[in-house]
Amino acid sequence: MHTVCGLLMHSSLAVTTEGLPLGLAAVKFWNRQKFKGTAALKRKINPTRVPIEQKESFRWLENMRQSTALFAAPDRCVHIGDRESDIYELFCLSQELGTHFLVRTCVDRLAGEGDHTIADDMKATTIAGQHTVPVRTANGDMSTATVDVRYHRLRILPPIGKQKRYPALTLTVLHATEQNTPIDRPKIDWKLLTDLPVDSHDDAVEKLRWYALRWKIEVFHKILKSGCRAEDARLRTADRLVRLIAVFCILSWRIFWMTMLLRANPEANPALALTEADREILDLLVAGGAHLAGKPRSLSHYLLKIARLGGYLARASDPPPGNIVIWRGLSRLNDLRIGAEMARLVGN
């Protein structure tokens, strides 16, 4: 008998400020010798005394290096992460590489000269304004929430055990908090940390919108798991699993990209995403879609037909098609393309 710990993946997705996914900027696979939770580890050693290179969280730094090397202009990139990425070494590496970060913090670090913490400073910071954000309740219903926005530029100190190795940094702390706790959902309480300057309320709102794009990586993973069913693979070795998941990552990104492309640039040239054979099949088999004579068909014309292959009803009151119907439509289109190719080769 032996314990199989499986395969873990840490991925970084590149998206535009409008939310259009551009592809994976970095990905790392690894496995564990045995299962051991963080709580069990903390009972034996102080995690802050362990070098970052010996921790699993070092993957955040590796992905930042890989992503920065991939892009020609690292100063245009902003690395966004949840509370798991609240790592002081990551902040220092960002400065070293000439790139930027925006993370949700969970550590109340020492600030100023070390005689107080970030929370003490933010309590004394006045509210710069309010911002209304759309939220979803536990039942899936959409509603709005009003948050108080505070921001302040502070001198942040490294952890006590790392002050000889890492310098103090001047960063912007941004808090967005609801005054009251709603009945049907958790209270919004975002505490963000960034090296970017925030000089006005509009700058703060911009950073909040950027952080909201972090959810795109969750959508990507949902397509990878639910659409491609990566977790159901039964290959016996890690090398084979890595190769399979790498292909699934490309496929998942393409589905996500086509779904968001329909919303971001519906009038684009259809050749951007579909071959001529795909467009011919869709024109022959899927009816509907108003088209003016002499005017070239747009990308949205064909993507809506793909969505209809996946079960989308395309009623006037329907929201834009999501990843699931695009996935189903592309799967069926692929079958139709194979059938058309076989008919061309062997005849009726």
Over the stretch 159-185, which tens digit does the pLDDT of each residue have? Answer: 988 888 999 999 999 999 998 888 878
> What was the pLDDT predicted at 292?
45
Highest mean pLDDT among 167-171, 226-230, 320-324: 167-171
Over the Cα atoms of the chain, what is R_g?
Answer: 24
User: Which is higher by pLDDT, 18 or 295?
Assistant: 18
Phi then psi for residue 137, to 5 deg, are -80, 175
**Local structure of 152: helix, strand or coil:** strand
Contact present, 196 and 95 (Cβ < 8 Å): no
Most confident of 33-37, 137-141, 154-158, 183-187: 154-158
Q: Of 36, 53, 202, which Cα lies nearest the Cα of 129?
A: 202
Of residues 225, 222, 191, the one with CA closest to residue 208: 191
Is the whole model's pTM more than 0.95, yes or no?
no
Angle between the N-to-C axes of helices 299-309 and 238-264, in degrees from 0 to 180, rounded to the nearest 10: 120
User: What's the chain's length in residues?
Assistant: 348
Question: What is the pLDDT, as a whole number, of residue 3?
Answer: 57
| Segment among 83-87, 132-136, 247-251, 268-272 with least mean pLDDT | 132-136
- Is there a contact between 107 and 86 (Cβ–Cβ < 8 Å)? yes
Strand partners, 172: 153, 194
Which pLDDT score, from 0 to 100, does residue 348 have?
A: 61
Q: Is the pLDDT of residue 57 over 50?
A: yes
Residue 273's pLDDT is 92
Residue 198 has pLDDT above 70, yes or no: yes
The answer on pLDDT for 346 being more than 50 is yes
Is the separation of the CB atoms in 99 and 79 below 8 Å? yes
User: For residue range 289-314, what is the model confidence (pLDDT) as tens digits?
Assistant: 555 445 678 999 999 999 999 999 88
CA–CA gap between residue 28 and residue 53 (Å, rounded): 15
Report pLDDT for 53: 86
DSSP letter assigned to residue 291: -
Q: What's the average model confidence in pLDDT over 39-66?
A: 81
Tell me what pLDDT residue 243 has: 94
Mean pLDDT score across all residues of the chain:
89
Whole-number pLDDT of residue 49: 73
What is the rounded CA–CA span in Å between residue 70 and residue 103? 21
